Structure 1
């Protein structure tokens, strides 16, 4: 916590001076460094929307260390764990969204203060110099910590008089877009009558001796907000300011264009997603006892996915492709060889094989079929038989594959990360993990109630449900996806996926790019 910076911020506000800041949504801490270097009074790191993880948040906080720039973190909800963790890693305060009730605000303040006045636990983390300055930290933390609620609903505005009675809050922020949505004008920054509602709440806050904040949409709007009495003013969002600058430059050279709601280029005909339950797709007999089933309608470009079923004892001889191949064992037993290197696979183990490497596959069971999920970065699959002899050697269980060749991901010990609410993921392959590969993909586990936010990719994608059942919404169209169902998504389509059942759900996703751009889509 930077107490001197917080004191300076408060002194400016007490003198009715504006304090200018930036709303950070992108991961690069260089953005915060630039803001600090330019003398911004404050930064808000947005951890409610978007894709920032805890490491990203920490790096933004570090970028402002020993500066006069206050760093606040916008959390996703009023939650003691989120507040505590944000403050433990060194934030100067928290921004709390969707504030409507007095009890919510009292909880937020309590979570940010130590006992006996609050409920914040003491941790031996960055804020306490890793436990070396408990006394000094506790003495100053309760006095200086900032708790900034966002009023972003009609109900919150109507309750402003009651919210003003809560001690420990000196700044209220406004979210016009969500406010407009709750007033019946979704998608508008300030719908009819909303500006007046916000102004009324703002006047009540100012009359109580407290300050108001808002994000400006332009330099002209910044002047208007200052004249209206807002004093904590965001110059914009980092992404928005970048786009504003880019569009100005492109307009200057005659290349300006409107951004569409998706990544799809303007003028492109609309292509819809396809849903293919197992048994409904195109079946190709690769050889006796080996069948590959792919979706009957494939709207994707440069991507084919499907299920390969090996009858007991069936062996696919050595072959290679001019492109990469991903093989994930779903059930049964199997051995996959790559130029003599033999890998015994267990369910959900993935072997990613760059183009040109000779490989073979064998169902080692004499009684049970082996089923793979397969992915290749082409819509026109082909293979070439290889007659070359390879000296065979069984690879150890912890082998990951030689550098520059195939990559084996063992499901049991693979690194996992959070990718949404109650959702964990494993990356199987991408341009960093397998430098020569033309696609990316991995495995995701959704616990009961797990979900990923609405999102879109700048490339075509495939999602195969490999365990349980899922609900997927693609631009308002609802799909119930049973086990072994494949959803193919054209680039730019906005979708969300969740598990509404009482059992876990797992999926394998593949993108037709080694480094896809993922955009989280929010209403604000």
Structure 2
């Protein structure tokens, strides 16, 4: 966990996968050749039991870190996913430094934060609770998403908040907020992303994003992102199904 956090903070090109299905087998497969995975609970029907089982599967697969994307910047939601034993959180729709500080406080135990103290899988069901409280949660990863025009304007101040390990640009929401949904080669979108990268890099904070295909991976690399989530589990399955079906149809013609 700490190794991944250090590598992320250092701006190393760590690579991740997005988990929307919630099945531990899929989580295990995706984690084998990754530095991290993100278990989505915002736009996926993933409950806490599924998050915990996915975290177990990721641990079984090797050294990848498991982060959970919470549904909102809410201390209760953040507390509950952290108790499953994930290595950190991805917090959506953060627009101001105040909201970024709220996210950090939700991750940290008192006196640095407001996370409730209890025995859970995250601390070996209470066996390591004292050590966890002493560390205050500083070993956990806190990444916040830049997804609106207002967040772009405040990117530097958000990146400067102590405890924020990285930013992640949500390309779909950001392009929608800018009125150019999906137009990732538009000047308006490119300008916004460049502003986020420049502002965050001035604070030595890495910036990543999510790709949904090879073209996106290449485009984001050209943009200069520090790290990428290079695809979505459901997308991998869909692409494999389509490829196999096309191959069969071509052979039967």
Match of 2:242 among 244, 247, 250: 247
Alignment of 1:276-425 (within 5 A): none
SS of corresponding position for 2:175: helix
Matches of 2:2 and 2:241, distance apart in 1: 33
The answer to whether 1:181 aligns with 2:157 is no
Q: Is the 8 A contact 1:18 1:226 kept in 2?
A: no
Equivalent in the alignment of 1:212: 207
Equivalent in the alignment of 2:57: 63
Matches of 2:169 and 2:69, distance apart in 1: 13
Q: 1:99 Cα deviation (Å)? A: 0.9
Q: Is the 8 A contact 2:35 2:65 kept in 1?
A: yes
The answer to whether 1:196 aligns with 2:188 is no
Q: 1:137 Cα deviation (Å)? A: 2.0
Instruction: Give 4+ residue runs of structure 1 displaced > 3 Å after superposition.
Output: none
Matches of 1:56 and 1:29, distance apart in 2: 8
After TM superposition, the score normalised by the length of structure 1 is: 0.45
Matches of 1:8 and 1:185, distance apart in 2: 34
The answer to whether 1:169 aligns with 2:171 is no
SS of corresponding position for 1:49: coil
Q: 1:6 Cα deviation (Å)? A: 3.1
Q: 1:140 Cα deviation (Å)? A: 3.8
Count of residues in correspondence between the two structures: 248
Match of 1:233 among 204, 225, 228: 228
Change (3 A) 1:146 1:8: closer
Q: 1:53 Cα deviation (Å)? A: 1.3
Structure 2: tracts of 5 or more residues without a match: none
Matches of 1:196 and 1:251, distance apart in 2: 38
Q: 1:141 Cα deviation (Å)? A: 5.1
Q: 1:181 Cα deviation (Å)? A: 1.3
Change (3 A) 1:69 1:141: farther
Matches of 1:223 and 1:32, distance apart in 2: 24
Compare CA radii of gyration and give the structure with the larger one: 1
Q: 1:39 Cα deviation (Å)? A: 2.6
Change (3 A) 1:80 1:17: closer
Question: Which protein has the bigger helix share?
Answer: 2
Q: 1:119 Cα deviation (Å)? A: 0.7
Q: 1:191 Cα deviation (Å)? A: 7.0
Structure 1: tracts of 5 or more residues without a match: 256-524
Equivalent in the alignment of 1:421: none
Q: 1:199 Cα deviation (Å)? A: 2.1
The answer to whether 1:40 aligns with 2:28 is no
SS of corresponding position for 2:138: helix
Q: Is the 8 A contact 2:167 2:207 kept in 1?
A: yes
Equivalent in the alignment of 2:47: 53
After TM superposition, the score normalised by the length of structure 2 is: 0.90
The answer to whether 1:98 aligns with 2:84 is no
SS of corresponding position for 1:144: coil
Matches of 2:214 and 2:2, distance apart in 1: 26
Matches of 2:212 and 2:237, distance apart in 1: 13
The answer to whether 1:222 aligns with 2:213 is no
Matches of 1:8 and 1:176, distance apart in 2: 24
- Which has the higher relative contact order, 1 or 2, with Cα contacts under 8 A spaced 6 or more apart? 2
SS of corresponding position for 2:38: strand
Change (3 A) 1:11 1:183: closer
Question: Which protein has the bigger strand share?
Answer: 1
Equivalent in the alignment of 1:84: 79
Q: 1:165 Cα deviation (Å)? A: 2.5
Matches of 2:190 and 2:133, distance apart in 1: 40
SS of corresponding position for 2:194: helix
